[in-house]
């Protein structure tokens, strides 16, 4: 197992109006892993994410970078935010510059990088999200999905160690979702730690190394997707199970046990491959 990169120790957070959004959450995210954070509306996902880069400070417990509690001084926050890039759920909370290029340049410029490097990083980031041709467009003229892509580019251009994305797929078209999944795979392969809040259980099941399930501000479950998303209490809380997991279970009920045959499909493609391989074996035996 890799080393802890970010962890919560008994973190609670109460908003100024008295809402308890997080209650005694303890968890560890390890370097280089892909984590999906799940939970119903209002479960505390966004509140949790705002703690990961110090926008919110726990009202109880503490957040650690590696093994050290966060330093909430200006300097400490500047350092943390160069390491932890957060893409907000709502793009309008994040975008503020006139043009796409200016917006994406803002983060890397603040890191004090030379102009040439900033230009390179911005071009790379815009290419990664398919927005290179819109670099000179005014941000306020973009569609919702395009704004989301620009927000993601803005954080990618910072080249953080941890990428935290709050419902990044929501509002993106199917092609862009596939494209973004590929971008995330490349980032993960290059060693980045990626944390995503999502309501898409099929995506979480196929993509994540670990899932975290929040329930009314409490940690309901944390572990391997194949284990956690089969738990009854988790399925009850989320109101569903991943489709591939349900099909695998149904097949086992009619005597086709993919697990027994060594298959544990986590995506539609893996499931189709497993079924095809099994039917070939049947025919040749
Ligand atoms: N600024 C705020 N002031 C008071 N209460 C808030 C504030 N922001 C969020 N909350 C409350 O905190 C709780 C957790 O909200 P949060 O936005 O973290 O949930 P979420 O899991 O991200 O939900 P969603 O799936 O809808 O994005 C909710 O009860 C919400 O009403
Ligand atoms: Mg949210």
Give the DSSP H or E segment for 94. Answer: none
> Which strands make up the sheet holding 4-14, listed edge to edge?
20-30, 4-14, 60-65, 68-69
Residue 95 has pLDDT above 80, yes or no: yes
Q: Whose CA is nearest to atom 1 of ligand 1?
A: 15
Q: Write down the pLDDT at residue 33.
A: 97
Minimum-distance ligand 1 atom for the alpha carbon of 47: 18
Q: What is the mean pLDDT of residues 195-224?
A: 96
How much is the average pLDDT of 233-245?
A: 94
Kindly state the DSSP code that residue 142 receives in the 8-state scheme: S
Spacing, Cα 258 to ligand 2 middle (Å): 35
Q: For the whole prediction, is pTM greater than 0.85?
A: yes
pLDDT tier for residue 128 given thresholds of 50, 70 and 90: confident
Tokens 């929040």 correspond to 214
- Ligand 1 site residues (CB inside 6 A) read 15, 17, 19, 21, 39, 41-47, 89
Which residue's CA is the closest to the ligand 1 atom numbered 24? 41
pLDDT of residue 228: 95
**Which residue ranges does the chain devote to CATH 3.40.50.300?**
4-240
Ligand of minimum distance to the alpha carbon of 45: 1
Token output for 227 = 């284990």
Helix (H, G, I), strand (E, B) or coil at 52: helix
Fold of the 4-240 domain: Rossmann fold (3.40.50)
* pLDDT tens column, 41-86: 999 999 999 999 999 999 999 999 998 999 999 999 999 999 999 9
Mean pLDDT within 110-116: 90
Q: Chain-wide mean pLDDT for the chain? A: 93
Average pLDDT on 261-272 reads: 91
């Amino acid at each position: 197992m890799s080393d802890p990169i970010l962890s919560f120790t008994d973190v609670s957070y109460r908003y100024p109006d008295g809402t308890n959004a997080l209650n005694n959450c303890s968890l560890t995210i390890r370097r280089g892993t892909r984590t999906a954070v799940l939970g119903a509306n209002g479960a505390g996902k966004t509140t949790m994410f705002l703690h990961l880069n110090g926008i919110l400070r726990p009202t109880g417990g503490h957040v650690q970078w590696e093994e050290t509690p966060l330093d909430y001084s200006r300097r400490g926050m500047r350092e943390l935010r160069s390491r932890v890039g957060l893409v907000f759920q709502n793009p309008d909370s994040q975008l503020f510059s006139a043009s796409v290029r200016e917006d994406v340049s803002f983060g890397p410029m603040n890191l004090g990088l030379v102009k040439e490097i900033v230009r390179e990083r911005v071009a790379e980031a815009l290419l990664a999200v398919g927005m290179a041709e819109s670099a000179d467009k005014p941000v306020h003229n973009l569609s919702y999905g395009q704004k989301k892509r620009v927000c993601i580019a803005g954080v990618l251009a910072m080249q953080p160690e941890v990428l935290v994305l709050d419902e990044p797929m929501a509002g993106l078209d199917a092609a862009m979702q596939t494209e973004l999944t590929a971008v995330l795979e490349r980032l993960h392969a290059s060693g980045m730690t990626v944390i995503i809040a999502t309501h898409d259980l099929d995506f979480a099941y196929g993509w994540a190394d670990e899932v975290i399930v929040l329930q009314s501000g409490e940690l309901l479950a944390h572990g391997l997707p194949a284990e956690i998303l089969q738990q009854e209490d988790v399925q009850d809380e989320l109101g569903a199970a991943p489709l591939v997991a349900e099909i695998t279970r149904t097949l086992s009920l009619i005597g086709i046990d993919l697990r027994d045959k060594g298959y544990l499909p986590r995506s539609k493609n893996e499931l189709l491959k497993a079924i095809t391989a099994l039917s070939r074996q049947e025919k040749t035996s």
